[in-house]
Amino acid sequence: MIGAAAARSDRQRANQASGPRGANGGLGDALAEPARSADARRRFRRQALWGLVAAFAAVSATVVQLLKRQVAGTDFSCFWAGAKAAVDAIPRLYDFDYITALQGWPLGPGAVRPYVNPPSALAIFIPFALPPYWLGYGLWVGLTGALFLAVGLKAKAPWWFILMPPVVFAAYCGQVTFLVGGLVLAGLTFRERGVLAGILFGVAASVKPQLLVLLPIALMAERRWSTIFATAATGLLLVGFSVAIWGLQPWLDWFAALHRLWPLLFANSALVANMVSPYAALAARGWNGAWAFLLIPPVVVGVWLTFRRNASLADRSLVLLGGALLISPYAMNYELALLAPAFATYLNRTQDRRWPAYVVASVAYVGSAPIFGLIAAIALVPLRNMAPSLQRTLPRFKRRAATGLGLG
């Protein structure tokens, strides 16, 4: 009996000793569970990200199907023809029929293919019109694409942004998107070199000024006065250079051409269907496109708040260029490539709690709802940058309101 009692006592002591270890083990497992869950979420998001990249690449590969309807470089051909006219027939630079006939082949008879960029862009286009057409097109896409890629990588965008469908489509068309996007991104990158940034902005504006319509707001918000001066000086210099070479008449012809171009654009239902501006979306449904101009105040406020708060480069480029697409009546699908570095940067932030929202916005951006994707992505930027300011401002506002009502 004494031996049995001793054995029971030993078992009790053993159970008591093992109890705390078991409890600590359970607590450790409970503490480790969130970490394992976070690791699993990160792994899933990285795998999902590479799935998205593969899907982007697959969609981009379908651009070859466009060969059935149009040859590559149909937009570059307009710049090529404009440069040819600048060399040989400057009075006919904005003669839509002449420029279309000069191209001849891109879309067949009946398709109007005018040159509508300002005369200040001709100095950039002419060197690419000197070699044979296909060589000029290859050099144009290769050099401007290399600029866009290099600046995108410098801006910390993942390399695979070049696989996104808008980027591949812009290359196929031979548009100015890579040139303008590369110059603007570089200008945003060189924040400590204000004069250089202004020169880059000025050159970009000389090619496609409507894409930089929000730049003055952004630069004033950052108080970058030297950049504002350098941008204006560069633009005036390029305008003066074009006037010295070709005279003032091409500029008068350009303004007149813009008025003639407007009805041609919106009379072409196929062209309107490929536009990505809210104005065009309303017009395509028979509504008054001017309602889209109600977006101007919130876009301007968003640009001001984003640049005022020293936001990331992705945020600034998205709001600056994306905002311009939202408020411009005429914005085509190839111009979405301007935003590819920003969207790719957001998608690469797999640990961000907003990552699911970035996925939804990015899929819409490259899919059939680019306006929704653009608005959704831009909405995330000012709201995030606005939050700290509101947290500081609202208490002061409440105190002032209470004092004014005699409650303080």
Q: Are 372 and 364 in contact (CB under 8 A)?
A: yes
| For residues 238-249, average pLDDT | 95
Q: Are 296 and 210 in contact (CB under 8 A)?
A: no
Q: What percent of the chain is modeled with pLDDT above 90?
A: 54
Summarize pLDDT for 71-126 with one digit per residue, the tens.
888 899 999 999 999 999 999 999 998 998 888 765 555 578 899 999 999 999 99
Q: Is the dihedral of CA 337, 276, 114, 107 positive or negative?
A: positive
Q: Are 220 and 333 in contact (CB under 8 A)?
A: no
| For residues 270-298, average pLDDT | 89
The pLDDT of residue 162 is above 90: yes
CB burial readout 94-130, b (16+ within 10 A) else e: bbbebbbebbeebeeeeeebbbbbbbbbbbbbbebbe
Q: Are 106 and 112 in contact (CB under 8 A)?
A: no
Q: Where are the domains of the chain?
A: 46-399
Q: Which helix (H) or strand (E) holds 266?
A: helix 249-266
The pLDDT of residue 36 is above 50: yes
Q: Cα angle vertex 381, ends 155, 186, to 5°?
A: 25
The pLDDT of residue 140 is above 60: yes
| For residues 214-223, average pLDDT | 94
- Per-residue pLDDT band for 405 (boundaries 50, 70, 90) equals very low
Q: What percent of the chain is modeled with pLDDT above 70?
A: 83
The pLDDT of residue 407 is above 60: no
HEC per residue, 308-374: HCCCCHHHHHHHHHHHHHHHCCCCEHHHHHHHHHHHHHHHCCCCCCCHHHHHHHHHHHHCCCHHHHH
Mean pLDDT of all residues belonging to the chain: 84
CB atoms within 10 A of CB 296: 14
Query: Could you give the CA distance from residue 179 to residue 207 in angstroms, rounded to a whole number?
Result: 9
Q: Are 206 and 183 in contact (CB under 8 A)?
A: no
Query: Could you give the CA distance from residue 93 to residue 253 in angstroms, rounded to a whole number?
Result: 8
| Res 29: pLDDT | 56
3-state secondary structure of 158: coil
| Res 380: pLDDT | 77
- Per-residue pLDDT band for 65 (boundaries 50, 70, 90) equals confident
- Expressed in percent and rounded to 5, the helix, strand and coil fractions of the chain are 80, 0, 20
Q: Are 113 and 105 in contact (CB under 8 A)?
A: no
Tokens of 108: 């067949």
Query: Could you give the CA distance from residue 387 to residue 393 in angstroms, rounded to a whole number?
Result: 10
| For residues 324-346, average pLDDT | 93
The pLDDT of residue 141 is above 90: yes
3-state secondary structure of 391: helix
The pLDDT of residue 53 is above 80: yes
Summarize pLDDT for 336-345 with one digit per residue, the tens.
999 999 999 9
| Res 211: pLDDT | 94
| For residues 260-277, average pLDDT | 85
* C-alpha pair distances (Å), 406 with each of 395, 398, 400: 16, 12, 10
Tokens of 166: 């808008």
Query: Could you give the CA distance from residue 371 to residue 366 in angstroms, rounded to a whole number?
Result: 10
| Res 32: pLDDT | 57
